[in-house]
Each structure stands twice: as C-alpha cells, then as structure tokens.
Amino acid sequence: MTPQFVVNFAREAIQVTILVSLPILGMGLLAGLVISIFQAVTQINEMTLTFVPKILVVLLGLLFLAPWMLEHMMTFTIAVMEHIPDYIRQ
C-alpha cells in the first residue's frame, strides 16, 4: 500500500462520515439555536426545555433520513469489499 492510497482511502471514509452525519448534526444545531433564542426572549431557563426538543428533532431526523444514510454507508462498504483484492496488490 502506498501512502497516497492510504490518504485517499481515509479521505473517502471521512467524506462519507461527514456526508452521513451532517444533516442530523445540522438539525440538532438548528433546533438548539431556535430553543436558545426562545429561552433568551422569554427568559425561561428550564433545563429540560433544552434537551427534550433537540432529542426529538434528532430522532425524527434519523427516522426520515435513515434509508438515505444507510444507502450511502452500504455503497461505501460494498465498494471497499469489492476492491479488497486490489488493495492487497498495492
């Protein structure tokens, strides 16, 4: 294995990881921002108001985006497994 191969493989793995996790993290970030603005405007400092809506938003996002996320991860995994003989030769 050449160093360039290892770097490219790691880059692809990181790209898939970011692509799959970014929508869920973005939803959690957006929900947290909206909740923070709501708390600042109303001066409500309830701790459960911070966590429960974010958890619900992330769970709903996972529910709807799971097929898309799974497809990307399976595509990457299948490509890696199909190219194992090529990796061994390098």
Give pLDDT tens digits along the chain (90 positions).
Answer: 788 888 999 999 999 999 999 999 999 999 999 999 998 898 888 888 888 999 999 999 999 999 999 999 999 999 999 988 887 876
Lookup: tokens for 55: 């958890």
Crossing angle for the helix pair 47-82 and 3-42, to the nearest 10 degrees:
160
Q: What is the C-alpha separation between 15 and 9, in angstroms, rounded?
A: 10
- Position 25 scores a pLDDT of 95
Say how many C-beta atoms besides its own lie within 10 A of residue 16's C-beta.
17
